[in-house]
């Protein structure tokens, strides 16, 4: 049993890294964030958590947050509040497909930021929230 646990341990240590294409995308966001604010150093999980969990007046006027569809616990399945469709968990630790395909990540971030914030997310906000999701 001990041996099995030791074998699993490194996985949790490396959880939080991105695959190569996604890392390149993150690096691009970092350059953008630095351009917008020269004091920018790196994205931040705590800021990302606030972006993900805080409520806003969404585009239909109701209070809505990222957790409305994705749940507060990102390891659980979510449910689309408008269509009732089940959404697979966002946490990479339980769903290895998330945060792996740039095209999907860009599309959903654009769409989902619009749902919640009624605008696109800045590079800083996108990076922060991707760090947060990736830490789950």
Between 1 and 85, CB nearer to ligand HEC: 85
- Residue 87 backbone phi and psi in degrees, to 5: -115, 130
Q: Tally Cβ neighbours within 10 Å of residue 56.
A: 15
CB distance 129 to 74 below 8 Å: no
State the minimum distance, in angstroms, from the CB of residue 27 to ligand HEC.
17
State the minimum distance, in angstroms, from the CB of residue 9 to ligand HEC.
26
State the minimum distance, in angstroms, from the CB of residue 64 to ligand HEC.
6
CA dihedral sign, ordered 116, 47, 21, 40: positive
Contact set with ligand HEC (CB under 6 A)? 52, 64, 66, 68-70, 80-82, 87-88, 90, 98-99, 104-105, 108-109, 112-113, 115-116, 129, 133
Q: Across-strand partners of 15?
A: 17
């Amino acid at each position: 049993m001990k041996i099995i646990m030791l074998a699993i341990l490194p996985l949790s240590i490396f959880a939080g890294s991105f695959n190569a294409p996604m890392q390149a995308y993150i690096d691009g966001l970092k350059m953008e964030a630095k351009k917008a604010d020269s004091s920018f150093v790196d994205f931040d999980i705590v800021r990302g958590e606030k972006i993900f969990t805080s409520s806003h007046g969404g585009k239909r006027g109701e209070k809505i947050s990222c957790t409305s569809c994705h749940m507060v616990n990102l390891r659980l399945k979510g449910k689309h509040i408008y269509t009732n469709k089940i959404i697979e968990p966002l946490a990479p630790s339980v769903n290895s497909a998330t945060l792996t395909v740039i095209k999907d990540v860009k599309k959903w971030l654009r769409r989902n930021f619009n749902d919640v914030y009624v605008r696109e997310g800045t590079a800083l906000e996108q990076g922060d929230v991707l760090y947060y999701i990736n830490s789950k």
